[in-house]
Amino acid sequence: MQKRKLGNSNLEVSALGLGCMRMSFGDSPVGDKQEMISFLHAAVDRDITFFDTAEVYGPFTNEELLGEALAPFRGQVVIATKFGFKHDPIKGPHPSVGLDSRPEQIKRVAEASLKRLRVESIDLFYQHRVDPNVPIEDVAGAVKDLIQAGKIKHFGLSEASAETIRRAHAVQPVTALQSEYSIWWRTIEDAVLPTCEELGIGLVPYSPLGRGYLTGKIDESATFDSSDIRSGNPRFTPAAIRANRVVVDLLAKIGEQKEATPAQIALAWLLAQKSWIVPIPGSRKIERLEENIGATAVELTKNDLSQIENAMSQITVVGDRY
């Protein structure tokens, strides 16, 4: 597995990370704990060193899972987690409850995450979503305090605008931005991606396979459990699934030339955009993990990328992402 550095930082990770949310959150049924521990060990065995979680996944159970599973690999792996959601007395932190990035809350979350992850310092601590009620300078200042105290190593943002990134970076350098980015969701290319490049900030794309759609394994007959985020997603209505098939057909066409799957082409396309981009596809199955890892060996030439660019410019993707 190749390694990449996130921007100008010294944070080196595997070229492909692993999004761990669906191991214990986001759809039903969640993964069996022991099976997921074995799966995480298998990921480490295959040279994955970058693992993504958050306190809200579960809540809490995903961090606990990674803390237990990755304890034998301290110093060999990088774990990223997140703060930023309000804590409800019953639900705990949950997107439906609202946002809370007050400095005192950030520090409380950090202490709790340290315990669940079983680490002395969190490798990468993202603000999960920008809180409009708390100045980003205050957020960056709180994380700076935690870095100076040795409890956090790197500061990250998620789904932040170019202006917000600049303001935060002026207080505490931002190591990585996590944002949705894939061949069928490219809005960040206008302002956010150039800002990351200018400031030396790594990009960590989540949903790099379009929540599974870009694998080519979802057709209009697909049904989703009510707990699955795709059940209410405009891009996963039968009409949108049918209309967007042209994107998968393009990936499959390139894949035939490269002896690769559509998923591998989608990931290889991301890896080819910038040397500081590290996608984090989610997976719970060894065969999917190995397929994704195979993308790192797929080389897309300038010709290939131009072909993809020209074809995508003729395609209108149907449906909003949320």
Residues with Cβ within 8 Å of 259's Cβ and at least 6 positions away in sequence, in order, are: none
Q: Which among 84, 135, 78, 76 is positioned nearest to 110, based on CA atoms?
A: 84
| Per-residue pLDDT tens over the stretch 171-208 | 999 999 999 999 999 999 999 999 999 999 999 999 99
Report the topology of domain 3-313. Answer: TIM Barrel (3.20.20)
Among 57, 181, 206, 213, the active-site one is 57
Domain ranges of the chain: 3-313
Q: Which two tokens stand for residue 210?
A: 């379009």
> How far from 230 is each of 109, 125, 179, 214, 220, CA to CA, in Å?
28, 27, 18, 14, 13
pLDDT at 211: 92
Helix (H) or strand (E) holding 64: helix 61-69
How far lies 154's CA from each of 81, 126, 193, 263, in Å? 11, 9, 19, 30
Residue 190 makes CB contacts below 8 A (sequence gap 6+) with none
Place of tokens 């989540």: 206
Residue 31 confidence (pLDDT): 84
Q: Cα–Cα distance between 142 and 147 in angstroms, integer?
A: 9
pLDDT of residue 130: 98
Contacts by 88-93, CB closer than 8 A, 24 or more apart: 91/59, 92/56, 92/58, 92/59, 92/60, 93/55, 93/56, 93/59
Cα 99 from Cα 79, distance rounded (Å): 23
Do residues 179 and 277 lie in contact, with contact meaning Cβ atoms separated by under 8 Å?
A: no
The H or E element that residue 271 is part of is: helix 262-273
Helix, strand and coil in the chain, % to nearest 5: 45, 15, 40
Closest CA to 126 of 98, 164, 88: 164
User: Cα(149)–Cα(192) distance, rounded to whole angstroms?
Assistant: 30
Copy the structure tokens of residue 92.
Answer: 């705990």
Q: Are 112 and 157 in contact (CB under 8 A)?
A: no
> Which residue ranges of the chain lie beneath pLDDT 70?
none
Q: Where are the beta strands (DSSP E) in 78-196?
A: 78-83, 87-88, 92-93, 122-127, 152-158, 174-180
State yes or no: is 57 an active-site residue: yes
Q: Cα separation of 188 and 314, whole Å?
A: 19
